Amino acid sequence: MPEIIELNVGGVSYTTTLATLQQDKSTLLAELFGEGRDALAKDSKGRYFLDRDGVLFRYILDFLRDKALHLPEGFRERQRLLREAEHFKLTAMLECIRSERDARPPGCITIGYRGSFQFGKDGLADVKFRKLSRILVCGRVAQCREVFGDTLNESRDPDHGGTDRYTSRFFLKHCYIEQAFDNLHDHGYRMAGSCGSGTAGSAAEPKPGVDTEENRWNHYNEFVFIRD
């Protein structure tokens, strides 16, 4: 077998060395590219084919090269990566993923939003769409950044001090509340409570430019997430 190995993993191409693939003799990769190499399939270009997640395989190779786990900020596929590591029998990588998960500090993050319903027009008067103006994020700065990454907007936070402080002035760059919930769930948070205001009903006249019907349905909700 050559020293330079070309791979096709789930349609994604990689080039690595035989020494990297055999770095840990207890793994499935070392087995496949050792005694099991005769059973390996090849694609039309002669590359060894592995029917696994091609995108996540980059982290498998990185771990074999560096013997350390390097994941990007806001990485959301730990569970899938855990499954890939289990398949390739990467015991050391499994321990790193699990220890990183267990080492995450406990904390609390509150998500709030003010919303209404956008009513359909042009014959769609019965169609109502949820309308969120902004999703607010409150909590310890370091944990908010850990969970939301690049989707966090910090422009309204006047204090750019240490990450150990708390803030109630962050908000998200998008208006998808379920995406925010997914981010929190992926980082080990669970919902501990929620509250919400009633709709505005017969409130005072809306501000200029605000639809009267939408103004009637204005409400505010908060969701408290904790990580033990």
Q: Which domains does the chain show, CATH number per domain? A: 4-103 (3.30.710.10), 107-227 (no CATH)
pLDDT of the residue at 171: 94
Instruction: Judge contact between 55 and 63, C-beta under 8 A.
Output: no
For the chain, list residues with pLDDT below 50: 123
Q: How far apart are CA 132 and CA 228, in angstroms?
A: 29
pLDDT of the residue at 207: 66
Q: How far apart are CA 205 and CA 37, in angstroms?
A: 76
pLDDT of the residue at 55: 95
pLDDT of the residue at 124: 55
pLDDT of the residue at 36: 72
**Gap between the terminal Cα atoms of the chain:** 49
C-alpha to C-alpha distances, 175 to 144, 164, 185, 198, nearest whole angstrom:
16, 26, 17, 20
pLDDT of the residue at 211: 66
